[in-house]
C-alpha cells in the first residue's frame, strides 16, 4: 500500500507509525475544521505542527490603507522576537506612529521562449511590444480579478526571457499569473510559432532573492518611517539616537557590502516570516522579503528611521489565508478576504510598520549591547553541553 491510496488523515498517520515505528501523537492534534487543508492546501496530510502565536502592539500606523492602532500576530518559536517587536511598537507609537506608503509592483511570471536565431529573437521582441494590448486582453480573460501591467524582455541568443507583471487584486496571485501566462504562451505558439521552453524561466524570480526583484519590485513595494525623540529612545530602547544611527550605518551598509548581501537591513525576515506564518502567506516568499534597506538619520537630536521593502508578495484571499487560524489572524488585522485590492495593500502597510518596529528594537539592543542577555533571559536559559 502507498500513501496516495490512503484516503483519510488518520489512516495515513497510522500507516506511517506502523512503517517507521514512530508515535505521532502530537502531529495528530489539530482542530476538525483544519481538515479542509487536506483538500486545498496539503497533499498526503497526516496532521499539523504547532507554531506558537504571539502578539505585539498596539502599533500606531498612518498609511493610505492602514490607519489606526493594530495588534500584530506573530507565529514563531524564536524566543525574544515577539518581545523585541513589541518594544519597537511601543517606541514608535509613543513617537506618534509610523508613516507608511505602499505601491503595487505586480506579481511576476517570467517564461523563456526559444527562437531559431538571434534575428528571430529580436523580431519576436518587437512583436511582443507591438501586441502588448492583445496579450493584456488574453491575460484578463483568465480572471476578472487580474490585469497585465507590463512586460520586461531580455534576449540571450535564441532565448527570449519575458517578465510579465500582473495586478491580482487581493490575492498574492502566483497561480493566477501562471494561468494567464500559460494562455499567453499558447496564443504566441498559435500566432507566430514561437515555442515556450518553460513557463518559469527564472526571470520572474519567484521565491529567490535577486537584484532584479530589488530594482524592479515584486508583489508590493513598501516604505515606512518614524521619528523618535532622544527621551523615547533613552527610556524605551535604553540607548541613544546617535548609537543606533552609527550602528545602522556600520552594520546595514558596511557589513552588507563586505558580505555581498542583497539585504541592507538587520533582520527583516524575522518579522516577515512570523507574520507570513500567522496570516497564511506562502512561507517560501520570506526569502524575497530579506531584500530591502534600513536607513537612519539624525534630525535635531531625534532619530529618523525608515525601511524599504521592494519585494513583498502578499494576499488576503487564496492559498493559506482561508485556513481557520490564519483567517482569524487576518481578521484581527481587519484585512480578511477580497476588497478590490485594498485589503492586500493594507496588509502590506501593516507588515511594513511591523518590520520597522522590529528593526528598530534589534538595532537598539545591539547598540546597547543587550542582545545576548535578552535571548538568554527569554529563551529559558537553555544550556548545551
Rounded to whole angstroms, the Cα distance separating 365 from 367 reads 5
375 is catalytic: yes
11, 17, 78, 120: the catalytic one is: 78
The label of the residue with cell 492602514 reads 66
Cα angle, residue 256 at apex, residues 213 and 200 outer, rounded to 5°:
25
Residue with cell 527583516: 268
- 369 grid coordinates: 549591547
DSSP 113-158: EE-SSHHHHHHHHHHHHHTHHHHHHHHHTT-TT-EEEEEEEEEETT
HSE (side-chain half, CA atoms, 13 Å) at 193: 2
Check 17, 297, 328, 375 and give the catalytic one. Answer: 375
Annotated catalytic, 120? no
Cα angle, residue 228 at apex, residues 222 and 233 outer, rounded to 5°: 120
Establish whether 282 is a catalytic residue. yes
Q: 67 burial class (0-12, 13-18, 19+ CB within 10 angstroms)? A: middle
In whole angstroms, give the CA distance from residue 383 to residue 339: 49
Number of Cβ within a 10 Å radius of residue 35: 12
Among 109, 108, 123, residue whose Cα is nearest residue 194: 123
Catalytic residues: 78, 282, 375
Amino acid at each position: 500500500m502507498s500513501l496516495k491510496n490512503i484516503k483519510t488523515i488518520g489512516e495515513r498517520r497510522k500507516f506511517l507509525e506502523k512503517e517507521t515505528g514512530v508515535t505521532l501523537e502530537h502531529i495528530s492534534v489539530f482542530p476538525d475544521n483544519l481538515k479542509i487543508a487536506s483538500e486545498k492546501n496539503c497533499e498526503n496530510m497526516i496532521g499539523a505542527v504547532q507554531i506558537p502565536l504571539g502578539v505585539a502592539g498596539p502599533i500606531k500606523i498612518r498609511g493610505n490603507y492602514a490607519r489606526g492602532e493594530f495588534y500584530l500576530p506573530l507565529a514563531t518559536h524564536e524566543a525574544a522576537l515577539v518581545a523585541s517587536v513589541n518594544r519597537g511598537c511601543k517606541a514608535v507609537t509613543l513617537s506618534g506612529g509610523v508613516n507608511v506608503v505602499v505601491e503595487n509592483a505586480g506579481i511576476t511570471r517570467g517564461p523563456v521562449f526559444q527562437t531559431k536565431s538571434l534575428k528571430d529573437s529580436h523580431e519576436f521582441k518587437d512583436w511582443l511590444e507591438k501586441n502588448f494590448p492583445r496579450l493584456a486582453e488574453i491575460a484578463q480573460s483568465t480572471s476578472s480579478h487580474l490585469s497585465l501591467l507590463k512586460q520586461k524582455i531580455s534576449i540571450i541568443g535564441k532565448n527570449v526571457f519575458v517578465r510579465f507583471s500582473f495586478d491580482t487584486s487581493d490575492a498574492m496571485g502566483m497561480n493566477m499569473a501562471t494561468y494567464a501566462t500559460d494562455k499567453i504562451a499558447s496564443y504566441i505558439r498559435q500566432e507566430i510559432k514561437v515555442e515556450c521552453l518553460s513557463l518559469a524561466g527564472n526571470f520572474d524570480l519567484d521565491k529567490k532573492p535577486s537584484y532584479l526583484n530589488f530594482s524592479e519590485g515584486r508583489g508590493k513595494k513598501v516604505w515606512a518611517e518614524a521619528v523618535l525623540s532622544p527621551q523615547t529612545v533613552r527610556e524605551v530602547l535604553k540607548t541613544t539616537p546617535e548609537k543606533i544611527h552609527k550602528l545602522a550605518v556600520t552594520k546595514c551598509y558596511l557589513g552588507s557590502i563586505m558580505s555581498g548581501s542583497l539585504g541592507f537591513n538587520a533582520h527583516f525576515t524575522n518579522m516577515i516570516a512570523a507574520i507570513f506564518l500567522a496570516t497564511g502567506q506562502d512561507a517560501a516568499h520570506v526569502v524575497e522579503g530579506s531584500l530591502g534597506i534600513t536607513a537612519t538619520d539624525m534630525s535635531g537630536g531625534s532619530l529618523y528611521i525608515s525601511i524599504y521593502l521592494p519585494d513583498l508578495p502578499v494576499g488576503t484571499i487564496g492559498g493559506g489565508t482561508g485556513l481557520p487560524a490564519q483567517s482569524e489572524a487576518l481578521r484581527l488585522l481587519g484585512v480578511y478576504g477580497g476588497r478590490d485590492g485594498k485589503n492586500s495593500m493594507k496588509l502590506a502597510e501593516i507588515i511594513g510598520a511591523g518590520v520597522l518596529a522590529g528593526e528598530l528594537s534589534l538595532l537598539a539592543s545591539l547598540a546597547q549591547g543587550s542582545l545576548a542577555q535578552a535571548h538568554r533571559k527569554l529563551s529559558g536559559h537553555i544550556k548545551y553541553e
